[in-house]
Amino acid sequence: MKNKSLLSVFILSIIIIVIFFSFDTKSATISRKDVTSTSIKSETIENGIAIEKERKEGKSLTTAVELPKTNYAEIDEYIHDWSQAKEDEMFSEIENISASLSKDAQAHIVITPIIHQLDDAFITYEFHLQYTIKDVQLEEDVFHSEVESFTFDLTDGKLVHLEDILQISHLKEREIQSLIASLTKNKITDFSLQKDANRWMMTAEGLVFIHEKQAENDGFSVEKISVGFDVLAPLITDTYKKRLTKNDPTALAKTEKETIEKQDEKKTKEKSSVEREKRKTTGNDKKRKREKKRIAITFDDGPDEHVTPKILNTLKKYDAKATFFMLAPKANKHENIVKQILIDGHEIGNHSYSHANLNKVKQKRIKKEIIEAQATIESAAEQPVALFRPPYGEYNKTVIDLANQSGQTIIMWSVDPKDWKYQNKARIYENIIQHTKPGSIVLMHDIHEATAEALPKVLKHLQEQGFEFVTVSELLKEIEPAPNGVYYGN
């Protein structure tokens, strides 16, 4: 009899568990657990460069990735790591979308390069990335497309950054935005070194800026805008001046003339500035010394039931306030954490519904990611949400308009320790303390253990340097937006 009772209890427990999981949040229907490599081919194209093609197949996912191979181990390793990260990123988007699809949903990821070589000095890879999702529940296939490019210096195998070529490292984000708008004749008005770091290329004639824009059919098109070295000449850094204008003596002469004129102008301005400084009162000097160094610490992609509470404890210890940009489903799932964040005096913001790249989806989807997500987070928080951070820092005019219409200010960042990439507390710490200054908006993610582990040391060091940690809304009173109204911080 006792055994029968135990058996009954066991069966009942199994039934309860099955029922519980049947009502639990729907999981992703597209998986890469069973994905295996089915073929790897390599073919040499020119100048010692080969293309390695790998195809992987699984029940619900296939991938086709082509990567260039050179004689430079550093270049090949960089591209390999980048492609792995992009593949993970695209699959994460696919996984989020597939949570609302049938078990028969299928997805395909493609990464292919176009190679541009400038003499024997530079090489540029122009990567085209796509994924497609098919399912009977979709009115039409989900199609995502983007372009990223990388230019490498073949003398040392190093990646070339735009600020290596152009004298822009001293400029603020909004000043760079205005400069690129001017160079491209206002075809690109929202350029950012953060989100567009991999959207330019070097050619024999000049630089090419890659602009992805919404097409009339509600899709997206890629426009390449060339700016010649003759136009760029006054902006080219000394390091690259002779190398990039060696075939155009006129451009070099123009560069040198412009440089001399700039130096003379700078000396005149500095002289005037010194005179103005001398006329300032001691009272103003004292006021400036009393000004606080305020920054905003922000966290994306949460709340997470394990990591976010650890971060909240650390913030409380250092009397630091922060802003949490949440994904709507997670806010809905962890209402208790949302409430605790607010009780502790922090701020919450909207980080979309499914973390979709808003430059790659149609207007109807953008509306869901901004408006519906806002409503869901507000429901969990029981208070208005007035800040929006677009996933991946990707936005366009539609995003700006919808954010404005729904009373949300778009917030980007000025310090990115790439905690999502490195997952190393020492590296996260170093990246933050090296780049943080008054008015900075620091980006982190409250879903990584390494971030929670790095935070105490970060806050301790910055606090010792006189920094005060405030919410984004508090910091906005002290910093200026870019021309399009988006805030990046200093």
Supply the residues annotated as catalytic: 300, 445
Nearest to 390 by CA among 415, 360, 410: 410
* Alpha-carbon distances, residue 245 vs 138, 209, 230, 270 (angstroms): 52, 19, 8, 30
Closest CA to 327 of 350, 299, 311: 350
Q: Is 198 exposed, middle or buried (0-12, 13-18, 19+ CB in 10 A)?
A: buried
* Token representation of residue 159: 């990646």
Assigned token pair, 252: 């070099």
Q: What is the DSSP letter of 370?
A: I
Contact assessment for residue 239 and residue 164, using Cβ atoms and an 8 Å cutoff: yes
Query: 183: Cβ–Cβ under 8 A, 6 or more apart, which residues?
Result: 209, 227, 231, 232
Cα–Cα distance between 234 and 253 in angstroms, integer? 10
CA–CA separation, 304 and 400 (whole Å)? 28
Cβ burial 459-482 (10 Å sphere, 16+ → b, else e): beebeeeebbbbbbbebbeebebb
In angstroms, the CA 366 to CA 205 distance is 37
Query: In Å, how far are 128, 140, 219, 323 from 134, measured between CA atoms?
Result: 20, 8, 17, 37
> What region, left, alpha or beta, does residue 382 occupy, with left being phi > 0 and alpha being psi -120 to 50 degrees?
left
Residue 239: both structure tokens together: 């390091």
Contact indicator for 55, 64 with CB cutoff of 8 Å: yes
Structure tokens, 68: 């260039």
Count of residues making up the chain: 490
In sign, the C-alpha dihedral spanning 313, 318, 319, 325 is negative
The radius of gyration computed from the CA coordinates of the chain, to the nearest angstrom, equals 26
